Chains A and B, each alone.
Chain A
Amino acid sequence: MSERDDDLLMADLLGEAPTTPDPGFRFDVLSRASIRARRRAALNKALNQVAFFSAVGLVFPVLGMLGVTWENAQPVLLAVGLLAFGVAVASVSILGPRAVLARSRAILTRA
Protein backbone atom coordinates (compact mmCIF):
# COMPACT_ATOMS: atom_id res chain seq x y z
CA MET A 1 0.00 0.00 0.00
CA SER A 2 1.42 3.43 -0.95
CA GLU A 3 1.82 6.22 1.55
CA ARG A 4 -0.98 8.12 -0.15
CA ASP A 5 -3.38 5.16 0.12
CA ASP A 6 -2.34 4.65 3.71
CA ASP A 7 -3.06 8.32 4.50
CA LEU A 8 -6.45 8.17 2.81
CA LEU A 9 -7.35 5.01 4.74
CA MET A 10 -6.39 6.61 8.05
CA ALA A 11 -8.25 9.82 7.16
CA ASP A 12 -11.32 7.77 6.30
CA LEU A 13 -11.14 5.88 9.58
CA LEU A 14 -10.77 9.11 11.55
CA GLY A 15 -13.72 10.81 9.87
CA GLU A 16 -15.37 10.61 6.50
CA ALA A 17 -15.80 13.70 4.35
CA PRO A 18 -19.40 14.42 3.33
CA THR A 19 -19.54 13.49 -0.35
CA THR A 20 -22.32 15.79 -1.53
CA PRO A 21 -23.23 19.30 -0.42
CA ASP A 22 -25.84 19.00 2.31
CA PRO A 23 -28.71 21.52 1.92
CA GLY A 24 -29.64 20.99 5.59
CA PHE A 25 -26.18 22.10 6.62
CA ARG A 26 -26.45 25.22 4.45
CA PHE A 27 -29.85 26.00 5.96
CA ASP A 28 -28.45 25.63 9.49
CA VAL A 29 -25.51 27.91 8.67
CA LEU A 30 -27.75 30.65 7.25
CA SER A 31 -30.09 30.29 10.20
CA ARG A 32 -27.21 30.67 12.65
CA ALA A 33 -25.86 33.67 10.74
CA SER A 34 -29.29 35.29 10.95
CA ILE A 35 -29.59 34.59 14.69
CA ARG A 36 -26.14 36.05 15.29
CA ALA A 37 -27.02 39.18 13.26
CA ARG A 38 -30.24 39.66 15.25
CA ARG A 39 -28.38 39.17 18.53
CA ARG A 40 -25.75 41.71 17.51
CA ALA A 41 -28.41 44.22 16.45
CA ALA A 42 -30.24 43.74 19.77
CA LEU A 43 -27.00 44.26 21.70
CA ASN A 44 -26.23 47.46 19.77
CA LYS A 45 -29.76 48.72 20.37
CA ALA A 46 -29.51 47.98 24.09
CA LEU A 47 -26.13 49.74 24.33
CA ASN A 48 -27.51 52.78 22.49
CA GLN A 49 -30.50 52.93 24.83
CA VAL A 50 -28.30 52.64 27.91
CA ALA A 51 -26.02 55.40 26.57
CA PHE A 52 -28.96 57.65 25.67
CA PHE A 53 -30.78 57.36 28.99
CA SER A 54 -27.53 57.68 30.94
CA ALA A 55 -26.82 60.91 29.07
CA VAL A 56 -30.34 62.19 29.79
CA GLY A 57 -29.95 61.26 33.44
CA LEU A 58 -26.61 63.05 33.63
CA VAL A 59 -27.89 66.31 32.17
CA PHE A 60 -29.69 67.45 35.32
CA PRO A 61 -26.92 66.85 37.86
CA VAL A 62 -24.40 68.46 35.49
CA LEU A 63 -26.61 71.51 34.99
CA GLY A 64 -27.07 71.70 38.77
CA MET A 65 -23.30 71.60 39.26
CA LEU A 66 -22.91 74.42 36.74
CA GLY A 67 -25.37 76.53 38.72
CA VAL A 68 -28.10 76.48 36.09
CA THR A 69 -31.51 76.77 37.71
CA TRP A 70 -34.85 75.60 36.33
CA GLU A 71 -35.93 79.19 35.63
CA ASN A 72 -32.99 80.27 33.48
CA ALA A 73 -32.75 76.89 31.67
CA GLN A 74 -36.46 76.77 30.86
CA PRO A 75 -36.26 78.23 27.29
CA VAL A 76 -33.41 75.91 26.34
CA LEU A 77 -35.13 72.84 27.82
CA LEU A 78 -38.35 73.77 26.02
CA ALA A 79 -36.51 73.99 22.70
CA VAL A 80 -34.69 70.67 23.35
CA GLY A 81 -37.99 69.03 24.29
CA LEU A 82 -39.67 70.25 21.10
CA LEU A 83 -36.74 69.05 19.00
CA ALA A 84 -36.80 65.61 20.68
CA PHE A 85 -40.54 65.37 20.09
CA GLY A 86 -40.02 66.23 16.41
CA VAL A 87 -37.30 63.59 16.05
CA ALA A 88 -39.51 60.97 17.74
CA VAL A 89 -42.48 61.76 15.45
CA ALA A 90 -40.24 61.66 12.37
CA SER A 91 -38.68 58.34 13.44
CA VAL A 92 -42.04 56.72 14.03
CA SER A 93 -43.35 58.06 10.73
CA ILE A 94 -40.40 56.76 8.74
CA LEU A 95 -39.23 53.67 10.61
CA GLY A 96 -42.14 52.75 12.89
CA PRO A 97 -44.08 49.47 12.78
CA ARG A 98 -46.90 50.96 10.68
CA ALA A 99 -44.87 53.63 9.04
CA VAL A 100 -46.88 56.42 7.49
CA LEU A 101 -44.04 57.21 5.14
CA ALA A 102 -42.94 53.62 4.54
CA ARG A 103 -44.22 53.60 0.98
CA SER A 104 -42.35 56.82 0.14
CA ARG A 105 -39.20 55.43 1.72
CA ALA A 106 -39.51 52.23 -0.35
CA ILE A 107 -39.93 54.23 -3.52
CA LEU A 108 -36.90 56.39 -2.69
CA THR A 109 -34.81 53.33 -1.83
CA ARG A 110 -35.74 51.63 -5.10
CA ALA A 111 -34.90 54.77 -7.02
Chain B
Amino acid sequence: MDAAEEARLVRAARAGDTTAFGRLVDANQPAVRAFLRRFVGSYADADDLAQEAFARTWEVLDRFDGTSRLRTFICGVAFQYWRRARRADSRRMARDDAYAQLEDQETAGDARMAQKLALRRAMDELPDDQRAALALCLGQDFTHAEAAEILKLPLGTVKSHVTRGRARLQAALGVPAGAEQ
Protein backbone atom coordinates (compact mmCIF):
# COMPACT_ATOMS: atom_id res chain seq x y z
CA MET B 1 0.00 0.00 0.00
CA ASP B 2 1.47 3.37 -0.99
CA ALA B 3 1.60 6.40 1.31
CA ALA B 4 -1.21 8.27 -0.50
CA GLU B 5 -3.60 5.34 -0.22
CA GLU B 6 -2.66 4.91 3.44
CA ALA B 7 -3.32 8.61 4.11
CA ARG B 8 -6.71 8.33 2.40
CA LEU B 9 -7.66 5.29 4.51
CA VAL B 10 -6.46 6.99 7.70
CA ARG B 11 -8.71 9.98 6.93
CA ALA B 12 -11.65 7.65 6.34
CA ALA B 13 -10.92 5.68 9.52
CA ARG B 14 -10.76 8.88 11.54
CA ALA B 15 -14.25 9.67 10.26
CA GLY B 16 -15.41 6.33 11.70
CA ASP B 17 -15.13 4.09 8.62
CA THR B 18 -14.41 0.62 10.04
CA THR B 19 -13.94 -0.87 6.55
CA ALA B 20 -11.08 1.54 5.92
CA PHE B 21 -9.59 0.68 9.29
CA GLY B 22 -9.93 -3.02 8.44
CA ARG B 23 -7.89 -2.45 5.29
CA LEU B 24 -5.25 -0.64 7.33
CA VAL B 25 -5.14 -3.60 9.72
CA ASP B 26 -4.70 -5.99 6.79
CA ALA B 27 -1.92 -3.90 5.29
CA ASN B 28 0.04 -3.38 8.48
CA GLN B 29 -0.43 -6.59 10.41
CA PRO B 30 2.44 -8.60 8.84
CA ALA B 31 5.12 -6.08 9.87
CA VAL B 32 3.66 -5.39 13.31
CA ARG B 33 3.11 -9.05 14.14
CA ALA B 34 6.56 -10.03 12.88
CA PHE B 35 8.18 -7.39 15.09
CA LEU B 36 6.24 -8.51 18.15
CA ARG B 37 6.83 -12.23 17.51
CA ARG B 38 10.57 -11.65 17.32
CA PHE B 39 10.53 -9.33 20.31
CA VAL B 40 8.19 -11.18 22.67
CA GLY B 41 9.02 -14.75 21.65
CA SER B 42 5.61 -16.32 22.16
CA TYR B 43 3.41 -16.11 19.06
CA ALA B 44 0.21 -16.13 21.14
CA ASP B 45 1.37 -13.29 23.40
CA ALA B 46 2.69 -11.35 20.42
CA ASP B 47 -0.57 -11.60 18.49
CA ASP B 48 -2.53 -10.69 21.62
CA LEU B 49 -0.36 -7.60 22.05
CA ALA B 50 -0.69 -6.76 18.35
CA GLN B 51 -4.50 -6.89 18.56
CA GLU B 52 -4.49 -4.61 21.60
CA ALA B 53 -2.16 -2.20 19.80
CA PHE B 54 -4.39 -2.05 16.72
CA ALA B 55 -7.51 -1.57 18.87
CA ARG B 56 -5.78 1.24 20.76
CA THR B 57 -4.65 2.77 17.47
CA TRP B 58 -8.30 3.00 16.41
CA GLU B 59 -8.93 5.13 19.53
CA VAL B 60 -5.92 7.41 19.13
CA LEU B 61 -5.77 7.68 15.35
CA ASP B 62 -6.21 11.46 15.70
CA ARG B 63 -2.74 11.64 17.27
CA PHE B 64 -1.12 10.13 14.17
CA ASP B 65 0.40 13.13 12.36
CA GLY B 66 1.20 11.33 9.09
CA THR B 67 4.89 12.26 9.03
CA SER B 68 5.82 8.56 9.19
CA ARG B 69 4.14 5.34 8.08
CA LEU B 70 1.23 4.09 10.16
CA ARG B 71 3.01 0.83 10.99
CA THR B 72 5.67 2.88 12.82
CA PHE B 73 2.96 4.51 14.91
CA ILE B 74 1.30 1.14 15.67
CA CYS B 75 4.61 -0.46 16.67
CA GLY B 76 5.23 2.49 19.01
CA VAL B 77 1.82 1.91 20.62
CA ALA B 78 2.57 -1.82 20.94
CA PHE B 79 5.98 -1.17 22.49
CA GLN B 80 4.47 1.17 25.10
CA TYR B 81 1.83 -1.45 25.88
CA TRP B 82 4.48 -4.10 26.30
CA ARG B 83 6.47 -1.85 28.68
CA ARG B 84 3.43 -1.41 30.87
CA ALA B 85 2.53 -5.11 30.82
CA ARG B 86 6.11 -6.17 31.57
CA ARG B 87 5.75 -5.06 35.15
CA ALA B 88 3.48 -8.01 35.82
CA ASP B 89 6.07 -10.29 34.20
CA SER B 90 3.94 -13.37 34.65
CA ARG B 91 3.82 -14.10 30.92
CA ARG B 92 7.57 -14.10 30.69
CA MET B 93 7.81 -16.65 33.47
CA ALA B 94 5.24 -18.85 31.75
CA ARG B 95 7.18 -18.57 28.50
CA ASP B 96 10.44 -19.49 30.22
CA ASP B 97 8.74 -22.59 31.59
CA ALA B 98 7.55 -23.47 28.09
CA TYR B 99 11.11 -23.13 26.77
CA ALA B 100 12.41 -25.35 29.52
CA GLN B 101 9.87 -27.98 28.47
CA LEU B 102 10.84 -27.57 24.82
CA GLU B 103 14.47 -28.03 25.77
CA ASP B 104 13.65 -31.35 27.39
CA GLN B 105 11.93 -32.54 24.23
CA GLU B 106 14.71 -31.36 21.96
CA THR B 107 16.36 -34.10 19.93
CA ALA B 108 19.91 -34.09 18.66
CA GLY B 109 18.78 -34.27 15.02
CA ASP B 110 16.53 -31.22 15.18
CA ALA B 111 19.17 -28.66 14.36
CA ARG B 112 16.72 -25.90 13.43
CA MET B 113 14.92 -26.21 16.75
CA ALA B 114 18.25 -26.07 18.57
CA GLN B 115 19.15 -22.91 16.64
CA LYS B 116 15.79 -21.38 17.45
CA LEU B 117 16.19 -22.07 21.15
CA ALA B 118 19.75 -20.79 21.22
CA LEU B 119 18.71 -17.61 19.44
CA ARG B 120 15.72 -17.13 21.69
CA ARG B 121 17.85 -17.53 24.80
CA ALA B 122 20.40 -15.06 23.47
CA MET B 123 17.61 -12.65 22.53
CA ASP B 124 16.01 -12.86 25.97
CA GLU B 125 19.32 -12.03 27.61
CA LEU B 126 19.60 -8.73 25.72
CA PRO B 127 18.45 -5.46 27.33
CA ASP B 128 14.88 -4.52 26.33
CA ASP B 129 15.75 -1.64 24.01
CA GLN B 130 18.44 -3.63 22.25
CA ARG B 131 16.08 -6.59 21.80
CA ALA B 132 13.36 -4.33 20.39
CA ALA B 133 15.79 -2.64 17.98
CA LEU B 134 16.95 -6.02 16.70
CA ALA B 135 13.39 -7.33 16.37
CA LEU B 136 12.52 -4.30 14.26
CA CYS B 137 15.58 -4.18 12.02
CA LEU B 138 16.69 -7.81 11.58
CA GLY B 139 13.92 -8.80 9.19
CA GLN B 140 14.52 -5.63 7.12
CA ASP B 141 10.94 -4.60 7.94
CA PHE B 142 11.92 -1.28 9.48
CA THR B 143 14.77 1.15 8.86
CA HIS B 144 17.01 2.30 11.68
CA ALA B 145 15.28 5.70 11.59
CA GLU B 146 11.85 4.09 11.95
CA ALA B 147 13.12 1.94 14.83
CA ALA B 148 14.48 5.07 16.52
CA GLU B 149 11.08 6.72 16.21
CA ILE B 150 9.22 3.68 17.57
CA LEU B 151 11.56 3.19 20.52
CA LYS B 152 12.04 6.93 21.10
CA LEU B 153 15.81 6.51 21.05
CA PRO B 154 18.55 8.46 19.19
CA LEU B 155 19.41 7.02 15.77
CA GLY B 156 23.03 6.32 16.77
CA THR B 157 21.90 4.34 19.80
CA VAL B 158 19.63 2.19 17.65
CA LYS B 159 22.43 1.48 15.16
CA SER B 160 24.74 0.54 18.01
CA HIS B 161 22.04 -1.70 19.57
CA VAL B 162 21.55 -3.51 16.26
CA THR B 163 25.28 -4.03 15.65
CA ARG B 164 25.97 -5.32 19.16
CA GLY B 165 22.80 -7.40 19.32
CA ARG B 166 23.51 -8.99 15.93
CA ALA B 167 26.98 -9.99 17.14
CA ARG B 168 25.46 -11.61 20.25
CA LEU B 169 22.95 -13.57 18.17
CA GLN B 170 25.63 -14.66 15.70
CA ALA B 171 27.73 -15.86 18.60
CA ALA B 172 24.74 -17.86 19.86
CA LEU B 173 24.49 -19.49 16.42
CA GLY B 174 28.22 -20.20 16.38
CA VAL B 175 28.93 -17.69 13.59
CA PRO B 176 32.13 -15.68 14.24
CA ALA B 177 31.32 -11.94 14.19
CA GLY B 178 32.16 -10.38 10.82
CA ALA B 179 32.91 -13.77 9.23
CA GLU B 180 29.98 -13.57 6.83
CA GLN B 181 30.98 -10.30 5.20
* B94 interface residue per 8 A CB criterion: no
Q: How far is the CA of A18 from the CA of B33 in the complex (A)?
A: 7
Interface size class of B (residues with CB under 8 A): 35 or more
The B interface is mostly helix, strand or loop, or mixed, namely helix
* A29 interface residue per 8 A CB criterion: yes
Q: Which residues of A contact B25 (CB under 8 A)?
A: 21, 25-26, 29-30
Q: How far is the CA of A69 from the CA of B115 in the complex (A)?
A: 83
A1-B180, A21-B30, A25-B29 known; A14 vs B37 contact (CB < 8 Å): yes
Interface window among B48-56, B78-86, B152-160: B48-56
* B112 interface residue per 8 A CB criterion: yes
* B99 interface residue per 8 A CB criterion: no
* B166 interface residue per 8 A CB criterion: yes
Interface size on A, residues (CB 8 A): 31
Q: Which residues of B contact A4 (CB under 8 A)?
A: 140
Q: Which residues of A contact B55 (CB under 8 A)?
A: 29, 32-33, 36
* A71 interface residue per 8 A CB criterion: no
Whether B119 contacts A14 by the Cβ 8 Å rule is yes
Which residues of chain A (73-95) have a CB below 8 Å from chain B?
A: none
Whether B140 contacts A7 by the Cβ 8 Å rule is yes
* B66 interface residue per 8 A CB criterion: no
* A10 interface residue per 8 A CB criterion: yes
A14-B123, A33-B58 known; A8 vs B140 contact (CB < 8 Å): yes
Whether A30 contacts B21 by the Cβ 8 Å rule is yes
Whether A6 contacts B26 by the Cβ 8 Å rule is no
| Residue from B29, B31, B54, B169 in contact with A10 in the complex, judged by beta carbons closer than 8 Å | B169
Q: How far is the CA of A33 from the CA of B51 in the complex (A)?
A: 9
Q: Which residues of B contact A29 (CB under 8 A)?
A: 25, 51, 54-55, 58
Whether B34 contacts A21 by the Cβ 8 Å rule is no
